[in-house]
Structure 1
Amino acid sequence: MIVDAVAGVLGGVLLLRFWMQVIRVRPPASVGQFTFTLSDWLVRPLRRVVPGMGGYDWASLIGAFLVVLAASSLMLLYGASGQAVVLYALLRFVNWIVYGFMGLLIIEVIFSWVNPDAPLAPFVRALNDPLLRPIRRVVPAIGGIDFSVLIALVLLQIIQYLVRQAIF
């Protein structure tokens, strides 16, 4: 349980680092310092092996998968095969990505209800914009209410269900 919690935090930070770099958003100083301080020990050595290609920081993404693989390898103690561990790690990795996007969407909703002018609100909006922009093109606001976050959450849950069904 402790290993899962630590792996979840570290993997989440690595995925956040990758996503911030993909969409080219500059984090607030506190978020950036936390993210880079917590993940530099893994990302910097990985960059020597896996350089950034196509303008993406692949070391962060691979680092996140290595963290989930290391946490999942505890299954080997219970007699699971290597193939089962890798498959389980892949499922958990996709779950982390989907849950991360869901968390960001929920944080944006909370900011919009409680304090839309909060210092972190523009940062969270920028992180969610690539997900919500295509939905907003198709589904406009109805009566001044934006349903794009709700639709994105449902789509993410469908993706999660389909991944589970494909693996099992």
Structure 2
Amino acid sequence: MLIVDAIATLLGGALLLRFWMQAIRVRPPSSVAQFTFQLSDWLVRPLRRVVPGVGGYDWASLIGAFLIVLLATSVLFVAGWTVHAVLMQALQRFLQWILYGFMALLVVEAIFSWVNPHAPLAPFVRALNEPLLSPLRRVVPLVGNLDLSLLVALILLQIAQLVLGMLFSGL
């Protein structure tokens, strides 16, 4: 189960990253683009025939990520789970992947800002985080020239994780 989970998380993460990059119109560095597209093209290209991009969003990538988590979660059928329970578990894990992905991007940006703010990937990661951080920067003031919006975003994402856990524990 651990190997299936690790592979599913890697594939799902690549698909979610692909969706997010296209949703916010961020051009990735060639190394990131090559990794992401090579890892996910086998699923996205066939899905695009069925699910076209609408409104500027790459729905095939997002649906592909959900299909990956659903496939990985379907192992629970063996344990006797019902279809409804497996679907709810897959939805919860999918939403957790999204929240953990945002958290990871924020942590990477914090590390870049401390270690090497001029690293080649730093502007890319900053651009990926900008839609999350810009609304917070309007509300959270600088404290001694220190931008705490990143910390606030991490706390809000953790609260979202807790709420998600509570929502799905009652189902």
Query: Which TM class, normalised by the smaller chain length?
Result: over 0.9
Task: Determine whether 1:74 maps to 2:75.
Answer: yes
Over the aligned positions, Cα root-mean-square deviation in angstroms equals: 0.5
User: Which sits farther off after the overlay, 158-167 or 60-69?
Assistant: 158-167
Match of 1:19 in 2: 20
Aligned-partner Cα distance in 2 for 1:111–1:77: 43
SS in 1 for 2:136: helix
Aligned residues: 168
Where does structure 1 lack aligned partners over 5 or more consecutive residues?
Answer: none
Tell me how far 1:52 sits from its aligned partner.
0.4
Q: Which amino acid aligns with 2:94?
A: F
Report Cα offsets for 1:100-128 as digits up to 9, x if no partner.
Answer: 00000000000000000000000000000
Question: Letter of the aligned partner of 2:58 in structure 1?
Answer: D
Residue aligning to 1:64: 65
Q: Give the TM-score, by structure 2 length.
A: 0.97
What is the CA–CA distance in structure 2 between the aligned matches of 1:147 and 1:124, rounded to whole Å?
Answer: 17
Find the residue that maps to 2:78 and give its secondary structure. Answer: helix
Provide TM-score, normalisation by structure 1: 0.99
1:1-168 paired onto structure 2 within 5 Å:
1-168=2-169
| C-alpha distance in structure 2 between counterparts of 1:140 and 1:14, whole Å | 34
Deviation at 1:55, TM superposition (A): 0.7
Q: Take 2:104 and 2:76, find their aligned partners in 1: how far apart are those partners?
A: 27
The aligned amino acid for 2:20 is W
Q: The residue matched to 2:27 in structure 1 has which SS?
A: coil
Q: CA deviation at 1:160?
A: 1.0
Quote the offset at 1:164 in angstroms.
1.2
> Post-superposition shift, 1:163?
1.2
Paired AA for residue 119 in structure 1: P
Identity over aligned pairs, percent: 68
Which consecutive aligned stretches of 4+ in structure 1 deviate over 6 angstroms post-superposition? none
